[in-house]
Structure 1
Amino acid sequence: MRSGFWAFVTSQWKTQAPVVKEDLAGKTVIVLGANTGLGFEATKHFATMGPERLILACRSQSKGQAAVEELKAATGYSKAELWIIDLADFESVKQFADKFEHDGGRLDILVENAALASDKYEATKDGWETSLQVNCLSTPLLALLLLPTMIKTAQQHSTLPRIVVVSSEVHYWVDIEKKVCENTDILKTLGSSEYCTTKVMMSRYMLTKLLNVFFVRALNARLPKSTPLIVNTVNPGYCYSELRRGLKGIMAFVDYLMELALAFPTEVGSRRLVWAAVGAQDKPDSLRGEYINACKVEEASDFVLDAQGAKVQDRLWDELVEILSKVDPRVTANVTQYLSA
């Protein structure tokens, strides 16, 4: 499927669907990036559905605590928990997973919303370009570390848990350069300082959203059909958000003008995240591995769907597992036990 700029514009002007509701009594929900923007608005919606546990996974203790208090004031929900995670730090992701393994119990919904948009190269202490690590390495790492808990939850409680990875329609507007695909290591090339020129970083966010789509499709393809777990990816649309706070100069100015003309409220975009997490209860299997836009399944980009894209997807998966297995050996164990080759 192709989706150009005009299709993007017209989609922003359409009336958006109301939020879908589902009884979450007894269930546990984790929302990453829950202290602000889309994550916080989605968290407010989940709170009204009465989950037993609602975990706000945030990077900042102070901002996260403020969000917990604001959530209670806005919804009356008093059981929200603040857990700290920094996706720019692999050790922090591992510690979060360790804590959940020991203290979390069941896990029914994981919304991986935390993301970074930056047009400047900066490396994490782990040696990766920051937005690539946050959006495309740590996001899969947490999902793979929590995979056994979600499958166990399904088996013990006869439920169908969901992993929702927030991507974007901008994945239609980018592909991976042929010269990169010809390299032995695609991800290492994409994350290197040599590759991340000013021009490359101009489209870095779009590339990370493409990689999110590839991850979801690859993970779903390796989940046996009998596995009681739904994994999908969702486009929240173009909303007012702090996501783009890292943009500078001309890109920040252009984004400001686009927000004035096209952006819809953050709460509206959060409805799409909620739909991906609890919608389509009459046919949940239709969401397996799918790209969701405007509360319905749509085709991913032509680059994702063509034969070359399929090869790239498999290579990216193999590289990702190799990289993350060095970060945490549990990745290898979980992939071996729960996924097919």
Structure 2
Amino acid sequence: MAKRSHIRFLCKQWATVPPVVHADLRGKTAIVLGANTGIGFEAAQHFARMDVGRLILACRSREKGETAIERLNQATGYSKAELWLVDLGDFASVGAFVDQALRDLERVDLLILNAAAAARMDGLFTATNDGWETSYELFSQSGQQSSSPLLALLMLPRVLETAKRHNTIPRIVVVSSDFHFWTELEDKVLNSPNAFEILGSKEYCTSQIMKARYADSKLLNVFFARALSNRVREQPVIVNVVHPGFCYSELRRDITSLGMRLYEMMFAWTAEQGSRQLIWAAVGTPKGDNDTSNKLKGAYVGMADIDEPSDFVLGDEGKKREDKLWVDLISTLEKVDPRVKDVVAQCLTAP
């Protein structure tokens, strides 16, 4: 498997970050997960400046979310932002969030799956309330087998309704990273009865495995976005996956390594610069191509353009891995929420 070199990664970090793109979002609805801080908060500010009709800041903490609402209002003058609580470490919370959205939101035009879990540097296993290893349940900066994919799938009927009722093309943006180039899943995982049951189990999550967990989760983000896109291909919806760059982040607030701090000082973008990539994935247009809908479906986005993901997800072998992971994901999520089965049957097609 070809991996992107570290030198190329650093060269991208030194490159000039393209300016943020703008779009007319009046009357539209955007949901941003993990919107109280970092690139999620900065993306929410950009949407606010585009006068989005409804802006939902999906956060775990009420206190931090309310602070984010105040900061956003002060920075942009936008007074319509709404705080909705969701804990992606709790399937019940995800279900309640979706229930609220289906009840209260007439349309969903932009769904930004940005909620994040910090990568553990000590190689230790930590479990959520539901028993899954943390980075895999949190999935949008985490894993493909649970909460963010669950939320995306359960929201899909409303997204499709939006497309048809308003003659528009909604977008679902999955946040990943170039870190996905630096890992691959073991045959032991891919050949197992259910890959996600192994990936989320304490028995599999040795200290060595856990050290690669962050990169693994980013790889799974890419697989999920491509798999979902392939199954809504005939629908007027864009699903893509974005690399926001290496940015300063509160996720690393507990990392005290001097080396990491120096690395950030030399190479990290600001959270605002990283958020520009999310905005481009949400409203941008590929250069020199008017066929935005098809070109952006399943695309890997970075530096305000379409990039190519790791060889591990491409080609015939990559497609086999994608299909295997999709089947295992759906099998897992159907046990979590029975609505998943109906969504797959009614909204998706074979790739």
User: What is the SS of the residue equivalent to 1:30?
Assistant: strand
Alpha-carbon separation, structure 1, partners of 2:328 and 2:258: 36
Equivalent residues of 1:113, 1:165 under 8 A apart: yes
| 1:335 pairs with 2:339 | no
Q: Report the count of equivalent residues.
A: 337
Unaligned runs of 5+ in 1: none
Equivalent residues of 2:190, 2:324 under 8 A apart: no
Q: Which deviations, in whole Å up to 9, do the C-alpha atoms of 1:78-134 show, x marking residues without a partner?
A: 000000001010000000000001111111000010111232311112110011100
Specify the alignment match of 1:113 in structure 2.
114
Alpha-carbon separation, structure 1, partners of 2:277 and 2:166: 26
Specify the alignment match of 2:92 in structure 1.
91
User: What is the SS of the residue equivalent to 1:183?
Assistant: coil
- Out of 228, 236, 252, the position equivalent to 2:236 is 228
- Out of 295, 309, 324, the position equivalent to 2:333 is 324
Are residues 185 and 254 of structure 1, via their aligned partners in 2, closer, same or farther at CA, if it must alter by over 3 Å? farther
Equivalent residues of 1:163, 1:232 under 8 A apart: yes
User: Structure 1 residues 196-205 or 67-76, which shifts more?
Assistant: 196-205
Specify the alignment match of 1:124 in structure 2.
128
Alpha-carbon separation, structure 1, partners of 2:278 and 2:43: 7
Are residues 183 and 17 of structure 1, via their aligned partners in 2, closer, same or farther at CA, if it must alter by over 3 Å? same
Instruction: Using structure 2 for the length normalisation, give the TM-score.
Output: 0.93
- Out of 149, 155, 158, the position equivalent to 2:164 is 155
User: What is the SS of the residue equivalent to 1:237?
Assistant: coil
Specify the alignment match of 1:240 in structure 2.
248
Specify the alignment match of 1:24 in structure 2.
25
Alpha-carbon separation, structure 2, partners of 1:253 and 1:124: 30
Instruction: Using structure 1 for the length normalisation, give the TM-score.
Output: 0.96
Question: Identity of counterpart residues, as a percentage?
Answer: 52
User: What is the SS of the residue equivalent to 2:241?
Assistant: strand
Unaligned runs of 5+ in 2: none
User: Structure 1 residues 199-208 or 253-262, which shifts more?
Assistant: 253-262
Q: Which deviations, in whole Å up to 9, do the C-alpha atoms of 1:149-207 show, x marking residues without a partner?
A: 01101111111000000000000000001222232221111111111111111111110
Specify the alignment match of 2:303 in structure 1.
294
Q: Which amino acid aligns with 1:244?
A: R
Equivalent residues of 1:116, 1:244 under 8 A apart: no
User: What is the SS of the residue equivalent to 1:260?
Assistant: helix
User: Structure 1 residues 294-303 or 1-10, which shifts more?
Assistant: 1-10
Q: How does 1:1-341 map to 2 (within 5 A)?
A: 2-119=3-120, 120-135=124-139, 136=144, 137-225=146-234, 227-245=235-253, 247=255, 252-280=257-285, 282-285=290-293, 286-341=295-350
What RMSD over aligned residues (CA atoms) do the two structures have, in Å? 1.3
1:208 Cα offset (Å): 0.4
User: Structure 1 residues 212-221 or 282-291, which shifts more?
Assistant: 282-291
1:253 Cα offset (Å): 4.1
User: What is the SS of the residue equivalent to 1:123?
Assistant: coil
User: What is the SS of the residue equivalent to 2:66?
Assistant: helix
Q: Which deviations, in whole Å up to 9, do the C-alpha atoms of 1:211-230 show, x marking residues without a partner?
A: 000001111111142x1100
User: What is the SS of the residue equivalent to 1:309?
Assistant: helix
User: What is the SS of the residue equivalent to 2:277?
Assistant: helix
User: What is the SS of the residue equivalent to 2:221?
Assistant: helix
Alpha-carbon separation, structure 2, partners of 1:140 and 1:244: 24
Equivalent residues of 2:196, 2:332 under 8 A apart: no
Alpha-carbon separation, structure 1, partners of 2:152 and 2:329: 13
Alpha-carbon separation, structure 1, partners of 2:326 and 2:68: 35
User: Structure 1 residues 238-247 or 132-141, which shifts more?
Assistant: 238-247
Q: Which amino acid aligns with 1:204?
A: R
1:13 Cα offset (Å): 0.4
User: What is the SS of the residue equivalent to 2:57?
Assistant: strand
Equivalent residues of 1:230, 1:284 under 8 A apart: no
Q: Which deviations, in whole Å up to 9, do the C-alpha atoms of 1:276-332 show, x marking residues without a partner?
A: 000018432210011101111111101111433221211110011111111111111
User: What is the SS of the residue equivalent to 2:82?
Assistant: strand
Are residues 246 and 230 of structure 1, via their aligned partners in 2, closer, same or farther at CA, if it must alter by over 3 Å? farther
